[in-house]
Amino acid sequence: MKSHCKVVVIGGGIGGCSTLYHLTKEGWTDVVLVERNELTSGTTWHSAAQVTNFGAVQTMVGLKSHSIKLYKELAADPENPINYHHASGGIR
């Protein structure tokens, strides 16, 4: 493991993984993620695939739209195969 780096992301939940992913997409290379267990093994697993198209706050709708687009891109990438299916609408 590295002894020095510019950024240390602590926690491998959705927030930590997203932060590391977006930093690397912006060209950061001197970054590391530290997780005490398996990735997404904490509370993140409870919310898997719970991204809807709707919401009361426009900022959250924008964040959800970004997430849906990102998950679709990842699902289409043979280097990062994930099983993601998105449908319009939802029930609450």
pLDDT in tens, 62-88: 888 888 888 888 888 888 777 777 776
8-31 pLDDT per residue, tens: 999 998 889 999 999 999 999 999
Residue 74's alpha-carbon distances to 11, 17, 68, 77, in angstroms, are 21, 13, 10, 5
d(Cα 86, Cα 62) in Å, to the nearest integer? Answer: 16
The number of folded domains in the chain is 2
Q: Which of 23, 33, 30 is nearest to 6 (CA)?
A: 30
- Show the domain range for 54: 49-80
For residue 90, the model assigns a pLDDT of 58
Query: Do residue 30 and residue 60 come from a single domain?
Result: no
Is there a domain that residue 1 lies in? yes
Query: Do residue 57 and residue 38 come from a single domain?
Result: no
Query: In this structure, are residues 30 and 5 in contact, taking their beta carbons and an 8 Å threshold?
Result: yes
Q: Which of 31, 27, 69, 67 is nearest to 47 (CA)?
A: 67
Asked if pLDDT for residue 1 goes beyond 70, the answer is no
pTM: 0.70
Query: Do residue 2 and residue 43 come from a single domain?
Result: yes
